[in-house]
Amino acid sequence: MEPFSKHTGVGVPLRRSNVDTDQIIPAVYLKRVTRTGFEDGLFAAWRSDETFVLNQEPFRNGSVLVAGPDFGTGSSREHAVWALMDYGFRVVISSRFADIFRGNAGKQGLLTAQCEQADVEQLWKLLENEPGTDVTVDLNEKTVQCKDFLTTFDIDDYTRWRLLEGLDDIALTLRHSDTIAEFEASRPSYMPVTTPR
């Protein structure tokens, strides 16, 4: 995973709540067995509408998505994170994220910055008044800046540390292989195994 400390890029206002992962990437795009090239599936249904925000010129190259509450609800598909990142997004700002989406984002290096809804509204106004405006997100300071507007965001300390360091979860866990083996030895004997009886 690429370390993340600070990012500046064009902010994209997405005035929608409950942006579920089926909207972020419809199921037909999940049939691939590769890990790259999911950008064509991002918001596929909405992108066929020419008034959709990502079809507007200055927003086309956006990298900071500012969305309504309950972003990433529904299916656990990590493809939603891949699609956002493959398209070029590095940050999503929302007042509330679905748990699984947020976890997936943290594993891949997509920063989910949780702000107050009032801050999201303020960002929407700024980005709509002057399309193409940059947003700067600083993970060290936990701040979001857009023109003169500066606010803070929430992220749990552990995910923040992993993002800053760009650390791979599996390697971290494998440091505790002996502890896992000890735990395994203490599991009750009646617990099932999947091998056929």
Asked if residue 24 lies in contact with residue 75, where contact means CB atoms within 8 angstroms, the answer is no
Report the C-alpha gap between 75 and 101 in whole angstroms: 9
Q: Given the complex with other proteins, which of 16 and 142 has the nearer CB atom?
A: 16
Residue that the structure tokens 């748990």 belong to: 99
DSSP 97: B
Q: Alpha carbon 171 to chain centroid distance? A: 22
Percent of residues in the chain assigned helix, strand, coil, to nearest 5: 40, 20, 40
Nearest approach, Cβ of residue 148 and other proteins (Å): 25
Q: 30-36 long-range contacts, Cβ below 8 Å, gap at least 24?
A: 30/77, 30/79, 35/82, 36/82, 36/86
Q: Given the complex with other proteins, which of 73 and 151 has the nearer CB atom?
A: 73
Q: Given the complex with other proteins, which of 31 and 57 has the nearer CB atom?
A: 31
Q: Given the complex with other proteins, which of 69 and 132 has the nearer CB atom?
A: 69
Report the C-alpha gap between 45 and 43 in whole angstroms: 6
Nearest approach, Cβ of residue 31 and other proteins (Å): 4
Q: Given the complex with other proteins, which of 149 and 183 has the nearer CB atom?
A: 183
Structural tokens at position 115: 């702000």
Nearest approach, Cβ of residue 178 and other proteins (Å): 10
Nearest approach, Cβ of residue 8 and other proteins (Å): 26
Q: Given the complex with other proteins, which of 64 and 80 has the nearer CB atom?
A: 80
Nearest approach, Cβ of residue 40 and other proteins (Å): 13
Chain residues that interact with other proteins, rule: CB under 8 A = 15-18, 20, 22-23, 26-28, 30-35, 45, 68-70, 73-79, 81, 96, 98-100, 103-104, 107-108, 117, 156-158, 161, 169-170, 172-174, 176-177, 179-180, 183-184, 187-197
Asked if residue 11 lies in contact with residue 127, where contact means CB atoms within 8 angstroms, the answer is yes
Nearest approach, Cβ of residue 64 and other proteins (Å): 21
What is the C-alpha end-to-end distance of the chain, expressed in Å? 41
In three-state secondary structure terms, 152 is strand
